[in-house]
Chain A
Amino acid sequence: MTALPEWLRPGARPSGGVSPRPAAHRLLRRTLGAMGRSLALLVREDDGPNAGALRAADPRAKLLAAVGLIVVATFLRGMLPLAVCLGLTLALSVAARVPGRRLLPVLIAVPLASAALMLPATLNVVSGGSPLLVLWRTAGGALGPWRLPEIVAITGDGLLVAGRMVLRTTACAALALLLAATTRPQQLLGGLRSLGVPQAFVMVLAMAERYLAVLLRSAQELHLARLARSVAAIGVRREEAWAAAGVGAVFRRTRALADEVTLAMVSRGFTGEVRLLRPARWQRKDWLLMAVAAAVGAALLILDRRLA
């Protein structure tokens, strides 16, 4: 029988010492939350039969359509075409059953953040234009290096500029989400492969995606272990040192894995040239999807030019 140390028994603790202050675990929990969400996205499996039609569509077609529409959105200038673009995307997202917990953040956070950033742009001092609502009259003059404007006011031009930015960023974000939420990462990689992207690049991207899950799990374990053991707040400097040690540990795992993966690839005959499975042929519904996307894009652009 191995002799256990005398103090290794339930309830034994040294006398004296200071009772620790409860730790601020908010940051740890937040990081863990973000890691968990990323992991969940990476290892997401098929969502069952009632997952909406877009999910079954060919990933290449979806990828081309979504990227094409995002590019179109960056060319649009009118509020109306942009609003139509956003509206269509949202309608499609609902039809494709993009889960609310993914859609809502985009619908709320992106416009809010964008609007907050664009608040100053509504003012005459940034966007110019004739004042609609005067906020502040100053005496003008100069303050140090600044030359003060006579008035600070919200202008029609400013509202238009800000509104356009909010609509456009939201539409682009919603399109990117629609693509990502209806296509598993693995399928998207397959889609890239068949679009003439070099196979080596697709392979690296795929492996990055694959090992991201592994490294994220390591990082998650580090954070969980930290959460489980820490009783007291340890101060910013030690907190930073801990994070850096965590980064270092993840790097060690990175290098070990890279070496081992190389061996595993060589063992199965890899000599440096990448060969991947040939993707499935284009089908009629894939062409259809592309055609619809192209038509919508063209219509939006024409509408935009007409209104301009």
Chain B
Amino acid sequence: MGDEVYSDLMRELKTGKYVFTGELEPEKAGDVNEPIEMARELKGMVVACNVTDNPQSFAYVNSMAASYLIQKEAGMECVYQLRCSDRNRMALLSDVLGAGALGLKNVLALAGDHVSLGDTPDAKPVFDLDSTTLIKLIRTMVDEGKDLGGNEIHNPPKLHVGGAAAPGAAHLKAEVGKVKRKINVGVEYLQTQVVYYTDVLDKFFDELGKVDVPILVGIFPARTFGQADFFDKYVAGVDVPPDYLEAMKKTKEIKDKEKKKEEVDRVNIEFFTGFLEHLKGTPAAGCHMMAVGYPRIIPPLKKLME
């Protein structure tokens, strides 16, 4: 791994500071005004924000374009999410060069969902590379200034590549084997899928053993019951605790908007107090807060980590 540091995220990770990242979701729209607004609110709360790339294979604003605009307009550093889904290795290579040219500093290499799960299910599915080979491609581009075919890159891109891990995977040993593969090819940081259970997290860290790569644990404080319910029902490898779901469900009955907000915040803070307390005792290097559209919850949750 090269020693150069290109991004604030990597700088914080290297200094051993406890790191917080956020998440922004471009939508099916002709602009990125909303994520830019959110990024403005999140400034100072997190060091960088992930910008999602067509999650669940629903086609939204291109994540590279969104990352660029968010960095430019809101001054928020972005983690440009890049999925292997729907791009062959040539398109991926070209996208990474584009990201470098636009001044993006972090990329998160993901396999991505299959098109059949999204809103264009008849599209021809493309999976040419996978998360591991994409990480390898990016490291080769950045460190050696070459592509997979060994062709020289003039003025190689300067960015850091991260990967994902799923602590709640149905088959943990196979998942950990794959995570180790990513580590073997030089992934620089890992962000995990959302975790709600401390024992899931502990089992994951136990199985993984000691590794040198910083790991940011994903948490998802839901802004509405619907968000929590969606995660529970549709996101593989994520179980939302029934008590938390129940408490979130109850907030639906509150008519007064302000009171509802207060109660939602209270439920989240109550639930995450225990979780974050536990997180402090794990090898995690930080916390990836996927509080999409819910920036006000981040300061009180961060406070719990102090």
Bind each other: no
